[in-house]
Amino acid sequence: MIIVVFNGGRFRICIPLVSGIRIRERFRTVGRAVVRMAETVGADIEVSQKKHLLSVWVYYTRPGREWSTVYFDYGKNWREDEVFSSIKGEFDRLSSHQENLIIHSERVR
């Protein structure tokens, strides 16, 4: 398994401001998957509550970059391993995209 890491970065887990038992359970499951991913790539984690959310959302950023959505839990009842795999897939996609941009910008210089 190859994971490209750019300065560790930061994950943000956003949860609905008003949450019931279901949201808390999903937050625990998603949170454990995010912790695993953050430990794998050396990233930080922050948690925030947001109005107008119906489910748990996960974003990722690297220093100097915009936030990218890497997971949202709406309509899902996935186990931790499934959530982790989904986040890892999005992370890998973002990393390879950023790597391609860096390679391209080096060629342009």
pLDDT per position as a tens digit, 57-93: 999 998 888 999 999 999 999 999 999 999 999 988 8
The dihedral of CA 76, 78, 82, 83: what is its sign? positive
pTM for the model stands at 0.80
pLDDT, position 97: 54
What is the Cα–Cα distance from 76 to 96, expressed in whole angstroms? Answer: 26
How many domains does the structure of the chain reveal? 1
Output Rg (C-alpha) for the chain, integer angstroms.
15
Q: Is 3 a domain residue?
A: no
pLDDT, position 49: 93
Higher pLDDT, 95 or 41: 41
Q: Is 52 a domain residue?
A: yes
pLDDT, position 107: 41
Contacts of 19 (CB under 8 A, 6+ apart): 27, 49
Q: Is 24 a domain residue?
A: yes
Going by pLDDT thresholds of 50, 70 and 90, the confidence category of residue 94 is confident
Cβ–Cβ under 8 Å, residues 58 and 87: yes
Please report, for the domain that includes residue 57, its CATH number: 3.30.360
Cβ–Cβ under 8 Å, residues 100 and 5: no
pLDDT, position 85: 96
Tokens of 11: 């994950």
Q: Which residue range is the domain that position 104 belongs to? A: 10-108
